[in-house]
C-alpha cells in the first residue's frame, strides 16, 4: 500500500516553474503527413499534438497542467531515422507558463530510441532554460512543488537537464502505453529538488 501511495503522489505534485515535463518519446520521425497525440496522466496532466512535416521533421504543440498551465511549441529532426532498430534525433522548442506567475524559456536535446517489434525503449536528454516571475504561492503550493526555490518571491533565471527514459509498448500499430521516469540535474544553487526518479505514464495514439 505504501508503494502505491508513493507512486500516486506525483499526480498531485508538479513543478511550479519548469519547462514541460512531457518530452518526445522516440528518435523516429512520424513520416510526412502523419499525426500522433500523446496523453499524459503522470507526473502531470498534459496533451500534445504532433505532425510529420517531412519524412524526417516533426513539429508539435503541447499543453500541460502544472501549478498553472504551460504551453509549448517544438520540433524534432531525425538524423538517423529507422522504422526498426536505432534512431537518433534532435528536439527543441520554446514554452510559456501562466497561472502561478509567469515563466518562459526554451529546451534542446538529443533523443535516442531502439525499436524492436512492439517494444521501443528511449532516452531523451534535454537542456532547459527557465525565466520565472513569481506570483503568489501559498505555503501548501510551495510544499507540493517538485522543485524548491531558495527565494519564492524574486524573479529568477535558471537552467537544468531533464533525463527522460522509458519504453513505448506498442499494443498495436496505432496505440502505445509508455511507462517512463524523469530525473533532474540543476546547475544553480537557488534551485533544487527533493525528488529522485519521478515516475510517469503516457499514451500515444497515431492517426
User: How many CB atoms sit inside 10 A of residue 25's CB?
Assistant: 25
Residue 99 has pLDDT above 90, yes or no: no
C-alpha to C-alpha distances, 122 to 43, 112, 176, nearest whole angstrom: 18, 6, 13
Which of the pair, 193 or 49, is modelled with greater confidence? 49
Specify the pLDDT at position 151: 73
Query: What is the model's pTM?
Result: 0.87
Reported as a single tens digit per residue, the pLDDT across 116-143 is 999 999 999 999 999 988 776 667 666 6
Phi, psi of 186 (to 5 degrees): -95, 145
Reported as a single tens digit per residue, the pLDDT across 24-59 is 999 999 999 999 999 999 888 999 999 999 999 999
Distance CA 76, CA 90 (A): 6
Distance CA 192, CA 115 (A): 34
pLDDT band at 6 (very low <50, low <70, confident <90, very high): very low
Residue 4 has pLDDT above 50, yes or no: no
Per the prediction, the chain carries an average pLDDT of 87
Summarize the chain as % helix, strand, coil (round to 5).
10, 60, 30
Reported as a single tens digit per residue, the pLDDT across 140-154 is 666 667 777 777 678
Is the separation of the CB atoms in 23 and 162 below 8 Å?
yes
Is the separation of the CB atoms in 127 and 159 below 8 Å?
yes
Angle at 80 between CA 119 and CA 108, to 5 degrees: 90
Lowest-confidence region among 11-25, 30-44, 103-117, 189-203: 11-25
pLDDT band at 191 (very low <50, low <70, confident <90, very high): confident
Beta bridge partners of 133: 102
Amino acid at each position: 500500500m505504501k508503494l502505491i501511495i508513493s507512486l500516486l503522489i506525483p499526480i498531485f505534485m508538479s513543478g511550479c516553474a519548469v519547462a514541460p515535463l512531457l518530452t518526445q518519446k522516440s528518435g523516429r520521425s512520424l513520416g510526412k503527413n502523419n499525426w500522433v497525440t500523446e496523453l499524459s496522466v503522470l507526473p502531470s496532466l498534459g496533451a500534445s499534438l504532433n505532425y510529420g512535416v517531412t519524412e524526417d521533421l516533426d513539429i508539435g504543440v503541447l499543453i500541460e497542467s502544472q501549478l498553472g498551465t504551460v504551453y509549448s511549441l517544438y520540433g524534432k529532426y531525425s538524423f538517423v531515422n529507422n522504422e526498426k532498430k536505432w534512431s537518433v534525433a534532435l528536439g527543441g522548442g520554446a514554452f510559456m507558463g501562466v497561472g502561478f506567475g509567469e515563466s518562459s524559456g526554451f529546451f534542446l536535446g538529443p533523443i535516442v530510441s531502439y525499436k524492436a517489434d512492439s517494444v521501443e525503449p528511449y532516452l531523451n536528454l534535454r537542456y532547459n532554460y527557465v525565466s520565472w516571475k513569481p506570483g503568489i504561492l501559498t505555503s501548501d503550493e510551495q510544499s507540493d512543488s517538485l522543485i524548491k526555490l531558495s527565494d519564492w518571491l524574486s524573479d529568477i533565471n535558471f537552467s537544468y537537464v531533464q533525463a527522460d527514459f522509458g519504453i513505448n509498448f506498442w499494443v498495436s500499430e496505432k496505440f502505445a502505453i509508455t511507462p517512463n521516469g524523469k530525473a533532474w540535474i540543476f546547475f544553480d544553487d537557488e534551485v533544487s529538488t527533493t525528488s529522485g526518479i519521478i515516475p510517469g505514464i503516457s499514451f500515444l495514439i497515431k492517426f
